[in-house]
């Protein structure tokens, strides 16, 4: 078990920031709508190139599991919980009931989670059974933007999603409001909806779905 230089609040805030940027960008690029999503406290991501993962947050813990189809581990099936050795029982139970349910596949006629690496947080501190660079190599790279310093992440997200200045302004505004009052529903004004710069109503609908997953409504 190795300690990772990440913390739970940093990761959660990064996931929220990336999700807002994604929700804005799918109004121009709806074909990428499947790359980020929230289901309750579960944040799932995929890169459309064989990498996917889910991170589950609760008050005391978080747990993340990843599957990279390009990893050499994919051909050597291993019990997903082996990647959580050293984690508290509560973390393993959280993984079994939540995060791992998003990584199920059929193995020898049985349905089981297929995982190539994982990590977990106890309060603010993060740990992995893998050394950090190994965890990154086998799937943790999916959280690259989510684990950056916020200003660096905003710059990276602006470039990645080709966001306009208005869209970046909206991203920063919604991010600040969301992290200050995470459980409060945010309702966008008509002016803010226009800042999304949707291509058409169908694209705006994809944006609406992504926003509603994180408690932001039109």
Contacts with 23 (C-beta within 8 Å, 6 or more apart), sequence order: 207, 210, 211, 214, 216
Of all residues in the chain, the percent with pLDDT exceeding 70 is: 100
Q: Distance between CA 95 and CA 11 in Å, rounded? A: 17
Distance from C-alpha of 52 to C-alpha of 215, rounded to nearest angstrom: 23
Number of domains in the chain: 1
Tell me the per-residue pLDDT of 158-211, one tens digit each, with 9 for 90 and over: 999 999 999 999 999 999 999 999 999 999 999 999 999 998 888 899 999 999
Q: Which two tokens stand for residue 75?
A: 């051909």
Domain hosting residue 170, numbered range? 2-217
65, 83 Cβ separation under 8 angstroms: yes
Position 88 pLDDT exceeds 90? yes
């Amino acid at each position: 078990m190795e300690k990772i230089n990440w913390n739970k609040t940093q990761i959660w805030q990064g996931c929220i920031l990336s999700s807002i940027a994604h929700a804005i960008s799918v109004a121009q690029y709806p074909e990428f709508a499947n790359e980020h999503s929230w289901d309750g406290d579960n944040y799932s991501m995929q890169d459309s190139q064989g990498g996917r993962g889910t991170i589950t947050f609760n008050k005391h813990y978080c747990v993340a599991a990843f599957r990279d189809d390009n990893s050499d581990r994919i051909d050597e099936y291993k019990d997903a919980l082996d990647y959580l050795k050293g984690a508290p029982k509560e973390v393993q139970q959280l993984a079994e009931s939540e995060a791992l349910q998003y990584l199920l596949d059929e193995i020898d006629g049985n349905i089981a989670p297929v995982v190539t690496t994982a990590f977990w947080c106890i309060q603010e501190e993060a740990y992995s059974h893998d050394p950090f660079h190994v965890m990154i190599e086998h799937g943790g790279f999916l959280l690259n933007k989510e684990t950056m310093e916020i200003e660096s992440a905003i710059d990276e997200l602006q470039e990645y999603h080709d966001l306009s200045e208005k869209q970046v302004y909206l991203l920063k505004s919604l991010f600040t409001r969301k992290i200050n009052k995470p459980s409060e529903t945010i309702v966008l004004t008509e002016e803010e909806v226009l800042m999304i710069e949707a291509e058409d109503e169908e694209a705006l609908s994809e944006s609406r779905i992504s926003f509603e997953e994180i408690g932001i409504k039109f």
